[in-house]
Amino acid sequence: MGSANVIFIISAFVLGGLIILKRDSMAPKLRRWMAIISIVLIAFAFFLIVYSFFTLGT
């Protein structure tokens, strides 16, 4: 797994955590779109983790 993938995975999970922690102080419209974007980024991060495990032995 490359260093760019690791940085992306960490930043996606940190963004999701920040949105969970700061959800009360964000505007409702902004909160909805940020939540959707972070769900997409976290799902892609999980895909990268699974893909890297499958290609680990090759």
pLDDT tens column, 16-52: 999 999 888 988 888 889 989 999 999 999 999 999 8
Tell me how far apart the alpha carbons of residues 38 and 26 are, in angstroms, rounded to a whole number.
14
pLDDT at 23: 86
Number of domains, the chain = 1
pLDDT at 7: 92
Q: Are 8 and 45 in contact (CB under 8 A)?
A: yes
Residue 1 has pLDDT above 90, yes or no: no
Q: State the residue range of the domain holding 27.
A: 3-54
User: Hey, is 26 helix, strand or coil?
Assistant: coil
Q: Are 15 and 41 in contact (CB under 8 A)?
A: yes
Tell me how far apart the alpha carbons of residues 15 and 37 are, in angstroms, rounded to a whole number.
10
Q: Are 17 and 57 in contact (CB under 8 A)?
A: no
User: Hey, is 37 helix, strand or coil?
Assistant: helix
pLDDT band at 58 (very low <50, low <70, confident <90, very high): confident
